[in-house]
Chains A and B, each alone.
Chain A
């Protein structure tokens, strides 16, 4: 009898998993369940090209609509899964449908954090994750309008840049001293703060938002320091949390997401997870990593699909992502939590550099601004996890590719 695989989450990870299952020859019943009404799509343009009206949504689709018909994928879109029941091997959907599965992949992603700020419910206060969110923000965009962006993480920074490029007045408020401080550190963050300031953004750093005020609709943002920022609308970007509701209480182990091994398997037989929701054991960094980026959604979605087919191999991708802001190209590769040395090749001031996060002489991660070639050349170095001379890392005359010791 043919097997049934259910993919919960018609996300980039879930969509890529469905594509991979068919490409790898799975000919059983395949059901793709999504809370959003759209077919699986890529989110990076939502804060950039799509938000600025430069690219149509269709360009973001993982596959065109006919592909799902041709490959006999049963779609349940706009239908959130309520619960995965491993005991009965069933997925329960909103509306009452119950689908029996042989294997299930949970790719439910993450949801935006809602900080406890008074006034968050006012009209004109937005956050950004879905197409519908992006459309709401797009409807607010008009030259000369005033926006306040709360939080200068990746999404906040990209939205800030896109809104400025559309001719809006933008104030950006960040609780840390610089944008992306927690991820990239103070030195790199300072460079990014200067970038936004140079583009005419009013950056308010080291200050928390105390309240959003207005009658019915937001009119101003008040900071803890007492600053009052008048505005027409607000975009809040203060991070995400993994969506694990469907497996809560089922025996699937959770800890900042769904715990999976290097084959994307959860603690419960037949249940797999991938993408933003999956907290995976990384064989190279030898620790748990949960990644919220585009490439991981693709690669881990595909890896989980192969694992479901019994063709899995350890998922040990060196995580990599980009963040385009204005005309600048920021990229990051690897994974670091702390670091004892930041080694810079190039110039932070000139915004052309690659910076290495080094712990015990080993490069854990690298970030580059407008030096993509060197960032890509850093990836084998990160994968090697071998000590490197910091003097060589910052020496422009040394090709980074020569610093990787040959593996014996």
Chain B
């Protein structure tokens, strides 16, 4: 059985929005793409900047520091200097809260 951690307040991330949440697993970012939430490590694999301080365009998040681009749905690197993908998490939306599978 897999474990879940709650992301308090993630249900308030609006369409096109991006936010990060402290969890026992570290900072996890949430992106709202057209009403669907995607979760991934907030820490860029290049130099550790916070991806949620960057911009979300469609499914692409751009790191604010050095322009690394990741697909929020897969964690894949789409451009820029990051050497490896970011970890992504399966999201479970409950009535009034959001959890991710870890």
Contacts and interface: CB of A to CB of B under 8 A. Distances in A.
The answer to whether A and B assemble together is yes
Interface of A: 42, 59, 295, 320, 322, 324, 329, 331, 371-373, 375-377
Contacts of B65: 322, 324, 329, 331, 372
Interface in B17-65: 47, 49, 53-55, 62-65
A372 B63 CA distance: 8
Contacts of A295: 67
A181 B85 CA distance: 38
Contact of A59 (B62, B66, B83): B83
User: Chain B contact residues: over half helix, strand or loop, or mixed?
Assistant: loop
Given A320-B67, A376-B67, A329 B49 contact: yes
Given A376-B55, A376-B64, A324 B47 contact: yes
A322 B64 CA distance: 11
A295 B66 CA distance: 10
A15 B90 CA distance: 38
Nearest to B62: A376
Given A59-B83, A322-B65, A373 B49 contact: no
A373 B47 CA distance: 16
Interface residues of B, number: 13
Given A324-B47, A329-B49, A373 B64 contact: yes
Interface of B: 47, 49, 53-55, 62-67, 81, 83
A324 B81 CA distance: 14
A376 B54 contact: yes
Contacts of B47: 324
Contacts of B53: 372-373
B20 to A, nearest CB: 13
Nearest to B80: A295
B64 to A, nearest CB: 3
Contacts of A375: 64
A320 B63 CA distance: 14
Nearest to B52: A373
Contacts of A320: 67
Contacts of B63: 372
Nearest to A373: B64
B54 A372 contact: yes
Most buried by A among B54, B62, B65: B65
Contacts of A324: 47, 65
B64 A372 contact: yes
A41 to B, nearest CB: 13
